[in-house]
Every structure is written in C-alpha cells, then in structure tokens.
C-alpha cells in the first residue's frame, strides 16, 4: 500500500503524517490489518528495537473522587463496588511497589484519586517517593495526582519524581461530554506545568467512549503538539455502575489500528498499551507489542489485570525482551533533550491519568477471567472484568 510506505518513511524521519493519512489508517480493512501492523512495527523497531518496558501501578488513595468523569469507577457517586481507602503510608506504598519491581518493572507509577493534590498531599507523596527510592536504587517514579497548582510540579521534581502523568483522554471538542467538573484546558495546563518543571511529561487517551475517528486523530495530534515523552493508550472498560457501562464498541482489530495510528503520529515516543488490553485485545495482545513498546505489569488501579507471569511469558513468546533497569528507554535525541525521559536518571515512560485512566490504565483495567464458554465475537466480554481485591489497600499479596 502506498499509504503504508509513505507512513513508514515519515515515521523513520520523525515527520508528522497528515490528518488524512492518520484517518486512513483507522479506515483500513481487516484484510489489510497485518500489513498495517508490519508497517508500524518497522517504525517501532527503528526507535525502540524489540524492548518492552514494564511499569507498575500503586494506587495510593482509591475511590471517593469529587470529579464526575463518565469513564471512571472512582467517580463521584460511583456504585461500582471498588476498593475505597485513604492515603497509604510511605512504607505501605514502598512494599506494594517492591512486588512490581521484583517482577521486572523499572517504573513505579504512584496514583491517587481526586481533583488534584493539596500541598499536604504533595508532602505525603514526597515521603513515599523517598521511601521507594531509598530501597530501590535506580527505580523511576512517576506521580499521577490530578490537576496541579502552581509550584507543585517543581516540588515533586525536587522530591525525586522523574515524571508526571495526566491524560487528555479525548478530543477537545468532545471533552465536555465525558466530564463537567473540569475542562480539557485544565488537563493541558497540568501537562505543561509538568513539562515546565523538568518532569518527564506523560499524557495519553482513552479509546472506545463512543468517539469518532476524527476525535481519535484530534487527540493524538494534540498530544503530538504537547510533545510528551510517553503516550499511554487506554481502551475503555465499560464498568457497571458508570455512565459508560454500555459502551462496548471495540474489537481487537480496531485496537490494533488505533495503536498503529498512534505510532505513526508519535513515532519516537514511548507508546504504552495501558488499561483494557486484556479485555479488548485479548489473544491479540502479543501482536500489539509490534506497535507499543511499553505495558503495565499485573493489576491496575481498581481492576485486576493479566497475571504478571503471563505478561512475561507473552513478551518472550512474541520474540521481545524486557527492558533492563540500565537501558535508556527513549531514543538518544529525546533522552538528551532537557527534561526528556528514558533513563533511570531522568524518567523513561510516564503513566496514564488519575481519574479513570489511572497512570496509563483506564479504571476498568480488566482481567483475564475464566468461563465455561467464551461469548460470541459480537458479544461484550463482560466476563473479563473483575474488581481488584488484592494488593494495595488489602492484606492480600499483589499480582506482579
């Protein structure tokens, strides 16, 4: 396909595709899907080889959020039955992080529900960052605490944070349809605050909320303009008890096309498959590693994920390798461009967002459950969603 040859050439030169080209990727047929994956895979390998970065989420404060994000199980008035608890103590958070690091993660993402941190909250997180770094040499830490006030990004940087995450989630034109308690501009402002403070900026999206192809291209082009070091791609999990509980409109093929489009638009940026991969990509997850160079290990914020051991086996079986703690994630031109991430000294991946796409994962993260017979292809896979009942905030061992 001439389109794919053009996109590969542009990706290898870090040249921005046209909107028409990005839309054309989303409009390709299932017959052309493997060609699309192969083309985007060439761009992925040019900048990231066959390495896969592992990240691990620690939910510092779960539920009880005053925001009304439609996709989020922690939203105001949520009836989802998720775990609800206040701030973990630094030693509790460090203990939770240790499980993920032992499983091969090189980045810990510290997430807390809420509109944004108070100055006291920043002090709490600073103590947690210190506890984790004191016990784990070279670990990267990303904070994901919501909307930032002036000076807070700088304080987090001084406390040892390497990155800050806040997702745009969807296009500016449709943002008001999913949230009314803050604006798209608020989110852009927080990403810019993080960037300005020297933190590695991380911002991504949630696909599957009923948006159009044009909306998806709009948000990815907006992300390209913001120039974060990492872009987590979340796939909506329609959690019962949220306004988007009936929005089951993704297929594995659709997810792969979205990931390919993101890779073409953001060729040299860390693209992470975040929440929802188990639910929507399902057995196609290994194929998606040809497009993204980063995933979360184990469970998500409020839902269970694929077993950590299965994640590692999947990576190996697909012919990829886990990125080591001493390896630089980002290409040299990004890792050395002031505030860039990619090494354990200066952040390498970033996360997702705090309200619903928590640190790179949508709140409905998903779990590979078991059932006597799988539903037909056209039926929603609600059997793959399970609320997290282990790990942070519980007395049970985490999944890592």
* Catalytic residue ranges: 65, 69, 72, 109, 142, 202, 272
Give the DSSP letter string of 224-278: HHH--SEEEEEE----TTSTTTT-----HHHHHHHHHHHHHHSTTSEEEE-TTII
Cα–Cα distances in angstroms (integers) from residue 302 to residues 46, 229, 396, in the given order: 35, 25, 14
* Residue of 263, 257, 225, 259 lying closest to 12 (CA atoms): 263
Calpha distance 46→285 (Å, rounded)? 21
- Number of Cβ within 10 Å of residue 39's Cβ equals 23
Cα–Cα distances in angstroms (integers) from residue 290 to residues 196, 217, 315, in the given order: 32, 20, 11
- Per DSSP, 229 falls in state S
Secondary-structure percent of the chain, ordered helix, strand, coil, rounded to 5:
40, 15, 50
Q: Among all chains, which residue has been given the structure tokens 């290898």?
A: 12
């Amino acid at each position: 396909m001439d389109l794919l040859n053009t996109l590969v050439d542009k990706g290898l030169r870090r040249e921005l595709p046209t909107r028409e080209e990005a839309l054309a990727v989303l409009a390709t047929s299932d017959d052309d899907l493997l060609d699309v994956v192969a083309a985007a895979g060439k761009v992925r390998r040019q900048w990231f080889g066959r390495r896969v970065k592992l990240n691990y989420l620690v939910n510092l404060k779960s539920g009880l959020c005053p925001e009304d994000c439609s996709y989020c199980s922690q939203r105001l008035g949520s009836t989802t039955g998720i775990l609800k608890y206040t701030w973990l103590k630094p030693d509790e958070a460090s203990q939770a992080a240790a499980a993920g690091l032992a499983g091969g993660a090189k980045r810990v993402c510290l997430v807390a529900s809420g509109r944004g941190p108070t100055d006291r909250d920043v002090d709490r997180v600073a103590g947690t960052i210190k506890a984790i770094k004191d016990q784990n040499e070279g670990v990267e830490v990303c904070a994901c605490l919501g909307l930032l006030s002036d000076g807070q990004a700088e304080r987090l940087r001084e406390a040892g944070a390497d990155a800050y995450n806040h997702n745009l989630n969807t296009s500016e034109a449709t943002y008001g349809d999913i949230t009314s308690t803050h604006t798209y501009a608020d989110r852009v402002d927080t990403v810019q605050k993080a960037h300005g403070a020297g933190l590695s900026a991380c911002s991504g999206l949630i696909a599957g909320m009923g948006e159009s192809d044009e909306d998806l291209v709009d948000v990815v082009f907006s992300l390209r303009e913001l120039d974060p070091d990492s872009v987590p791609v979340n796939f909506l999990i329609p959690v019962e008890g949220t306004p988007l509980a009936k929005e089951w409109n993704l297929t594995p093929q659709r997810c792969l096309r979205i990931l390919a489009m993101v890779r073409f638009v953001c060729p040299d940026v860390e693209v992470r498959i975040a929440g929802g991969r188990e639910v929507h990509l399902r057995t196609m997850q290994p194929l998606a590693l040809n497009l993204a160079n980063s995933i979360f290990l184990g469970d998500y914020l409020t839902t269970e994920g694929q077993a950590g051991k299965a994640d590692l086996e999947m990576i190996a079986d697909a012919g990829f390798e886990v990125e080591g703690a001493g390896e630089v994630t980002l290409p040299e031109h990004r890792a050395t461009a002031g505030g860039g991430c990619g090494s354990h000294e200066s952040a390498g991946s970033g996360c997702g967002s705090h309200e619903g796409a928590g640190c790179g994962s949508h709140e409905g993260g998903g779990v590979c459950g078991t059932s006597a017979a799988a539903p037909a292809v056209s039926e929603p896979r609600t059997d793959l969603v399970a609320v997290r009942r282990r790990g942070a905030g519980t007395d049970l061992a985490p999944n890592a």
